[in-house]
Each structure stands twice: as structure tokens, then as C-alpha cells.
Amino acid sequence: MEYQQQPHEQEIDLRDYLRILIKHRNIIITVTILVVAIAVLKVFTATPYYVASAKLLIERNYNGQIGGNMYIPYDPEFLKTQFDIIQSRGVISRVVKKLKLDTEYKHYFFKQDNHSFIAPVTAWFNNAIYGTINWMLASDSDNETAQNSAGPSLYSQVKPVTEADIIASIIQSRLRVHPIRETKIVAISYMDENPVLASLIVNAIADAYMDEMLDIKMNASRHSIKWMTRKAEEEKKKLEAAENALQKYMQEHSIVTVQNKLAVLPQKLAQFSTELSKAQTERKELEDIYMQIKQAGNNQAVLESLPIFSVNQTLQSLRDQILKANQHITELSKKYGPKHPVMIKALEDRRVLLGEKKKEIQRIVQTTEMKYRLAKAREENLRDLLEKTKQQLINLKGKMIQYDILKKQAEINSALYDTLIMRIKQETANEQTQTVNIWMISRAEVPDYPAVPRKGRTILLALVLGLFGGIGIAFLIEYLDNTVKSAKEIEEKIGIPVLATLADIKDRDKNSKESIDDEVLKHPRGQLAENLRTLRSQLMLSSAEHPPRTILISSAVPGEGKTSLAANLAAILCEAKNKVLMIDCDMRKARMHRVYNIVNEKGLSSFLAGEAKEGEIIARLTDHDIHVIPSGPIPPNPAELLISQRMNRLVKHMRDKYDFILFDSPPILSVTDAQILSKISDGTIIVVRAASTTFEQLESTLKLFTSVNAHILGIVLNRMDLSKHGYSYYPGYYSYYYQYKTTDK
């Protein structure tokens, strides 16, 4: 069976989503309860706050500006700027001073709780912090004064933090400014525990904002005109000096002639650069191929594995002819001896083909080397031309650099001077105009009800967030879990049929210490036995002519349950009056002899190494028609023994004696033994453990088997926890056989 991975985009099934929610329902419920509990605790312990709001109409004044244009441009930064001014420290400081918040009413911001043991601790902590900061400032000031006694200390310029600054910071953190939609009205809101104080502060902020805007306008206009006048005089002198230097340089270096030559050289430079890039790419590709050929040396097998040899049509044709010649010699060797004329001629034909193949390989090597040397020489020539052109261009550009610098400096000075003159005229004309118009629409009233916390809305929002958060966590856990979880998922993603699903029989009795290796022998009417009978039926119907007689049972990694499956499958096959041979091919970590409690002194490794005969390694179970070949002593080279002719002869001989031969192999991702055994087997069963084997491991396993053209019969999903994956019809089936087995006891 050829493995072809199926596309991952499948039709959305709401039952899969429901299965995930049921599977992780405990996580969803826990997260929801936790979020709601935190919200309830928060809203019932939070201090109520009142919000007072005032409304202002703020718009830019365009009527007083020169030009009187009726068109009003869109200015998205205007309102944002006004919001920042309203919330600025200057406006807030005006409010603190006007309302005497730092003197008469500071107890509203610095509360003292004499009945709480936390209050003295908090006061001591604050005093310690402020004392440490002041001490550090004083120490640094003394150090700097000692080091530089001639000048004043920088730290003497820093003002200490006052209570007014702290109150201003508190007001800023509680102040909100936002526009009212589809209007030019701005709402100013302040939140406080005292509703009266909240309304007073909001109204005071509105008044302080108007005063602040008047001061900003007057101070900015005076300072701007004074600065721009002084700057314009400086820029005028710089502009005259720059223009004189530019004119002198143009006369001394004949700038017009140099500009004509600079128009041609860049085109040549771009052309050489493009050709050099192509030559470097070609040389690099040939160099990689040439180095691979040099590293291979005279090793013809390594040379043929290189891509340049593998895609050569002539070489491929010779390989096909040699393969046919080998097949022809093999067929003739069955009829004739080595000295027969027909055999001699066939061998000579193969020798000629081998010689032609060797010559063709040598020709490809020589051709590749010649192409590489030519590409290298062309690259060097182009590099020389590019460097010469660059040098010519550098020499010419050297004369233009100073010219461009002088020209740009003159242009900058001219533009700056013109801008300053124009701005001086505008500021002088608009000095007496107010650029922003502000009107008080409604003053703040004392609020009657607290704005926060909103208990009902908060709890409802917490319920929704907790529910969706829990669902999100559940889907995240499911997404990160890349293990195989169901037969449907395997068939959709991998495209390989699942022959049987074996439930985790230990789930029915968590305290059970029984081994499942002989589960079918102990409980022939149990659930596992019925699952394996389904597997037996699948194997019997897997081929139109006859079922596979030599079956390899393998897995991706250890611990998937392949040995237990092999032992129980052998018992199920014997139940149908079949003669079964179990061969333990895991000669590195054998376990089959412990399953059947037989001696492992001689086994498969002994026979393949020529140290034991066939009859000495086969053990027969007393009560069942099952024969077992244990692995034997651990050999130094298990893979070489399995690929030997003695192994092939053993399997051919056993096929005549037994109805079924089961191979228990090591995991394929660990060693190559399973790939070797798949070549001498009629089919391969891959054991996958549910919720343990990942899809990456399963895909790697299938790729390794398909690389050797193994016949994959299908997959057995082992140890499936049916209760966690939404298989609603299995629990009854599971319970039925559990009761059946209990009665059987």
C-alpha cells in the first residue's frame, strides 16, 4: 500500500467541537468559577466612586487670520492637543491652588485611619521613602559642590516633591477628557469618593483651562517673534556666505563638463554589476557540484548519487541496461553453468555496459570541471571591469561631492531664511488674535449615584469572559496536543485505514496488576478478544486471493504495545484452528520469551549465526497451537543477521509448516530492523498508542516503510481511552463485555 498524506482541510463537524468541550469541561467550569469569584470579590469590596462632568465647546478661530478663507481644513490633532492641555500639570496646578486643595482640603487626598494597624505602617513607609530621597539628593548635591566649587550645583535646581504635586498627580490620574460624537463639544469628567469635591474640581478645571490658553497664546507670540527676528539675521549671513562659496567652486572645477561624463558611467557600472552577479551565481553552482565530485573521488557509488549524475539521461539508460543484464544473468544462472557460452556472453555484455557507464561518469566529471574553470575565469574578468569602472566613477564623483554639499547648503539656508521672514510677518499680524474659542456649555452638578463599581454588569462580563476564556484554553490545549486520538483522525490526516481500535482495558479496574500480554488466553470472551477478532476478520479480507501469511507487527517508538498485540493476535488466530509461529525479531530488547515463559538461551540469533539448528530454536506452547522462536542471545549485528540468506530460507521453510507467521520487530524510528523485515513479509501492521504517539512519529514511520515499498496492511489504534474522546456507543459495549468476563470467572 502506498502512503499518501491526505489534505488537512476537512469539513467542519460541530460534533468534534462538542467533543472537545465535553473532554475539557472541568477546565472550562474551573476558569469560569474562578473569574466570577474574583469579580464578585472585587465589586463587593471596592470603594464607590462618583463621576461629575462638565461640557465645553472648543473650536479653532479662523476668522481673525490673514487670508480670510472660508474653507476650514480638517485638523485631527487639534482636539487631541486641547485634551493634553486640559490634563496638563499647569492646568491642574491652577486648580489645586484655586481650591486650596493642598492646605485646607488635603485630608480628602491623604486619608488617615487611626483604627487600622496598616495606617501607621503606611505612614512610616512613606516617611522613610521621602527621607531617603531627600538624603540622596542632599548627598549628591554636597558631592557635586565639593568637586566643582566654582559653579552652582545641578541638584540645587531640582525642586523637592510637595503635597501639591502629589495631589495634582492624583487629580490627573482620575481626570478623563473625551469628545461627544458628531459634535464639537468636549466632556470633562472627574471621579472621586466625594461627589461634592468631584463637581468642584471639574468646574475649576474648565475655568483653569480657559486661563491657561490665554497665557499660552500671549507668551508664545512674544517669544516666537523675538526668537525668529534674531534667527533671521543669522541665517541671512549664512546664506550670503554659502552662495559665494558655491559660485567660486563652479568656476574653479568646470562643473558642467563633469556632469556629462557622470551620465554614462553609472549605466556601464550597473551592466557590469548585473553580469557579475549572474557569473557569481553560475560559478557558485558549478563550484558546489565540482567540490562534491572531488570529495567523492573515485568512489563510483557516491558519484552516481550526486544530482548531476542521477538526472543524466545517458547514465540512466546505462543503469537500466545493466539492471536488465543482471536480471538476465540471474535467470541464465539457473539454467547454465558459469562456463557456458551463453553465460560468458551475458557476463561480457554486462562488463561492456559497466565500462561504458564508467566512461560516461568520467566524461561528466571532466565536463563539469571545464565549465567550473570557465565560469571562474569569466567572474574574474567581470570583477576587474567592474573595479575599473568604479574607480573612474569615484574620481569623477569626487569633484561633484563638494559641489553638491555647497549647493544643498545654499538651498537650505535660502529656504530657512524665507520661512523665517514669512513667519515673522504672520506672527506679527496674528499676535492680538485668539486662535481657540472656548465656551462653557454646562457646568458640573453634584452626582447622586456612584459610577463604579457596576456590580451586575461586572459580574455578567466576568461570567462571559470566564466562559470564553475557559473555552479558549480548552481549544488551545487541544490544538497543542498533536498525539493520535481517534481512528477517524488518522484516516482523515494520514489516509491509512485503521484495522481495529483496542480499548484500554485497564480502565475498568484501576487497581488491576494483570498483564495484558495473555489477555486473550485468560479472557477469550473479553473486550480485547472481540476487538482482535475484528482485526482477524480485516486481515482475512485484506486480499482478494488469500490473506497475508507472514505479518510484521511494528511501531514508531517503544511502549506502543506491539508485543502484547502480537501475542494476543496469535491466540486469536489459533482460535480459528490456524497454526501460528511467533518470531521475536527484536534481538536488542527481547520480551517475547518472558511473555510465554520460555528459555531464551537459543533463538533466532543463534540460528542466523549458525550456532543452532532449526529444530533447537522452536518452542511449542503446551495448551495452544502456538510455536515461538525467541530472539536468543543479543548479537553485535542484528541488522546484518536479519538481511542474511539464512533468514530468507528460514521464513520460506516456515511458510510451508505454518498458516501464519508473526514477526515482532523493534520500533522503526530506533533501528532499521523493521524495514528489513518488511521486505520478507506479506504485510505490515503499525501499532499506534492513543494519546501517546504523535502524528510526526506516525508520518515518519510511514515514510520509512514506503521508502522500501513495504505493504502496509493498516494501523491498529491501541489503548484507546473511550471515555475521554466522546465515543458514546462504546461504553455500553465495553460494559457488556466486562460483565460477560466477570461471569466467565
Exposed, middle or buried, 554 (CB in 10 Å: 0-12/13-18/19+)? buried
Where a domain ends, among 173, 202, 222?
A: 222
For residue 156, name the pLDDT band (cuts at 50, 70, 90): low
Asked if the structure places residue 230 within a domain, the reply is no
Residues 6+ apart with CB under 8 A from 33: 466
**CA 516 to CA 147: how far, in whole Å?**
86
C-alpha cell at 588: 536488542
Q: What is the pLDDT of residues 203-243, one digit of tens each?
A: 999 999 988 888 877 776 667 777 777 777 777 777 778 77
Asked if the structure places residue 89 within a domain, the reply is yes
143 and 204 belong to one structural domain: yes
**CA 348 to CA 338: how far, in whole Å?**
12
Q: Are 581 and 570 in contact (CB under 8 A)?
A: no
314-339 average pLDDT score: 83
Asked if the structure places residue 641 within a domain, the reply is yes
Q: Phi and psi of 239, rounded to 5°?
A: -65, -45
Asked if the structure places residue 401 within a domain, the reply is yes
pLDDT of residue 633: 94
545 and 672 belong to one structural domain: yes
Q: Are 35 and 398 in contact (CB under 8 A)?
A: no
Listed residue (107, 20, 52) closest to 443, CA to CA: 52
73 and 200 belong to one structural domain: yes
41 and 58 belong to one structural domain: no
**CA 463 to CA 32: how far, in whole Å?**
6
27 and 75 belong to one structural domain: no
20 and 92 belong to one structural domain: no
720 and 659 belong to one structural domain: yes
Higher pLDDT, 305 or 548: 548
63 and 29 belong to one structural domain: no
For residue 300, name the pLDDT band (cuts at 50, 70, 90): confident
pLDDT of residue 345: 85
Asked if the structure places residue 500 within a domain, the reply is no
For residue 680, name the pLDDT band (cuts at 50, 70, 90): very high
Helix (H) or strand (E) run with residue 55 in it: strand 50-60
Total number of domains in the chain? 4
Residues 6+ apart with CB under 8 A from 406: 242, 245, 246, 249
CATH code of the domain covering residue 575: 3.40.50.300
Q: Is the pLDDT confidence value at 123 over 60?
A: no
40 and 62 belong to one structural domain: no
Asked if the structure places residue 437 within a domain, the reply is no
Asked if the structure places residue 247 within a domain, the reply is no
Residues 6+ apart with CB under 8 A from 495: 3, 4, 5, 6
Query: Global pTM?
Result: 0.49
530 and 471 belong to one structural domain: no
74 and 173 belong to one structural domain: yes
Q: What is the pLDDT of residues 446-460, one digit of tens each?
A: 998 888 888 888 899
Pairing of strands 550-555, 619-620: unpaired
Q: Are 603 and 631 in contact (CB under 8 A)?
A: yes
Q: Is the pLDDT confidence value at 388 over 70?
A: yes
Q: Is the pLDDT confidence value at 116 over 60?
A: no
Q: How many CB atoms lie within 10 A of CB 641?
A: 21
Of 346-355, 424-433, 479-488, the range with the lowest mean pLDDT is 424-433
Q: What is the pLDDT of residues 405-446, one digit of tens each?
A: 777 777 787 887 788 777 777 666 655 555 688 888 999 999
Q: Is the pLDDT confidence value at 648 over 90?
A: yes
Provide, rounded to the nearest whole percent, the portion of the chain with pLDDT above 90.
33
CATH code of the domain covering residue 285: 1.10.287
For residue 68, name the pLDDT band (cuts at 50, 70, 90): very low
60 and 34 belong to one structural domain: no
Show the domain range for 464: 14-46+454-480
Asked if the structure places residue 422 within a domain, the reply is yes
